[in-house]
Amino acid sequence: MSAAPTECLLRLYDEHHELEDYQKGVTRWCPGCGDNAILTAVQRLCRTENLDPVKTVFVSGIGCSSRLPHYMNTYGFHGIHGRALPIAEGVKMSRPELTVFVNMGDGDCCSIGAAHWVHAIRYNMDLTVMLHDNQIYGLTKKQASPTSPIGLKSNTTPKGAYLEALNPLTVSLGVTNVSFVAQVVDWIPEVLYDVLHAAFLHKGLSFVRILQRCPEWLPNMLDPWVQDPTRVKLLYHEDGIKVSPSVAKVYTTTEEHDPSNMNRAREIASEVDPVPVGILYRNDDVPCYEDLRRDPTLRTPQFVKGGLEAEFDKFTIWPEGEEH
């Protein structure tokens, strides 16, 4: 026996979790909402990896997608708008043994949270980040988001959006230290699951943009891609994802893409039609911030108190004659 006794005992009585162990409550998303598909894929991923629910955390911001932690029977943090990533980074920094997922909407991540998004990619902490991109603010009833296509009429753009949509993939791939970027669509559940699984296994920040339908506010916007499988391009590679026969039967537009090829990844990221689906870029050698900054010093109450006192002392006005 080579493992330590405690490790042996843990493995000997390792609990196996079913899908139901990760489910909680009834979703309040609209029927047909892509969030349901993402939730299912994530629950399957947790079951496959047998993640301990009490050591798994889902952090979200604000929006329809950010309700996801409510439906996971794990720890969760329904945060504030745009701040899911800093919260998740804080959790990971102080409790590196926890598995941390982040769920954000396109407004949450690409608008108010854009600064955090860019720096989170640069920090490359070990997080699995899902961008639920339905290209609209849904919870607040249809306002244009940064990823809304040009010309989209919404409550804030009644004459149509004036700007070209922001491309989360090209932005992510332009950030220093980027280590994992992928794109999936909610209507191919098998690929959605495979990509999320690969993202989970990647050490570092894995950024997955999920194009999802909003049946309430943009019911037909993605129909051309949903209904015509040839307008979806599957990226496959032996170091990326592999395509099953059943998926290959429907989705015949494919490209073999090596995820280590950054130049090609950036070209693919700019493609809109057919929409690329798969892992665009992966680099396992980028260091994680929490590893670079890991301090072996225990945060004992005395240590914390000493640090605080030292800081306070810098601003203390000492009575005359009193030593400090």
User: Residues in the site for another protein, rule: CB under 8 A?
Assistant: 1, 3-6, 9-10, 13, 18-19, 27, 31-34, 36-37, 39-40, 43-44, 54-55, 97, 186-190, 213, 215, 226-227, 234, 236-238, 240-252, 254, 256, 296, 298-300
Residue closer to another protein by CB (options 40, 261) is: 40
- Give min distance, CB of 288 to another protein, in A: 21
Q: Note whether 184 and 190 are within 8 A (CB).
A: no
3-state secondary structure the chain: CCCCHHHHHHHHCCCCCCHHHHECCCCCCCCCCHHHHHHHHHHHHHHHCCCCHHHEEEEECCCCHHHHHHHECCEEEECCCCCHHHHHHHHHHHCCCCEEEEEEEHHHHHHHCHHHHHHHHHHCCCCEEEEEECCEECCCCCEECCCCCCCCCCCCCCCCCCCCCCCHHHHHHCCCCCCEEEEEECCCHHHHHHHHHHHHHCCCCEEEEEECCECCCECCCCHHHHHCHHHEEEEECCCCCCCCHHHHHHCCCEEECCCCCHHHHHHHHCCCCCEEEEEEEECCCCCCHHHHCCCCCCCCHHHHHHHHHHHHHHCCCCCCCCCC
Residue closer to another protein by CB (options 52, 271) is: 52
Q: 168: buried, middle or exposed (CB in 10 Å: 19+, 13-18, 0-12)?
A: buried
Q: Note whether 208 and 279 are within 8 A (CB).
A: no
- Give min distance, CB of 115 to another protein, in A: 32
- Give min distance, CB of 4 to another protein, in A: 5
CA distance 313 to 135: 50
Residue closer to another protein by CB (options 69, 146) is: 69
- Give min distance, CB of 236 to another protein, in A: 5
- Give min distance, CB of 160 to another protein, in A: 25
- Give min distance, CB of 195 to another protein, in A: 14
Residue closer to another protein by CB (options 67, 213) is: 213
- Give min distance, CB of 252 to another protein, in A: 8
- Give min distance, CB of 171 to another protein, in A: 27
Residue closer to another protein by CB (options 34, 63) is: 34
Q: What are phi and psi of 130, to 5 degrees?
A: -110, 125
- Give min distance, CB of 187 to another protein, in A: 5
Give residues with Cβ within 8 angstroms of 75, minimum separation 6. 53, 54, 56, 57, 58, 98
Residue closer to another protein by CB (options 238, 323) is: 238
Residue closer to another protein by CB (options 38, 169) is: 38
Residue closer to another protein by CB (options 270, 303) is: 303
Residue closer to another protein by CB (options 80, 221) is: 221
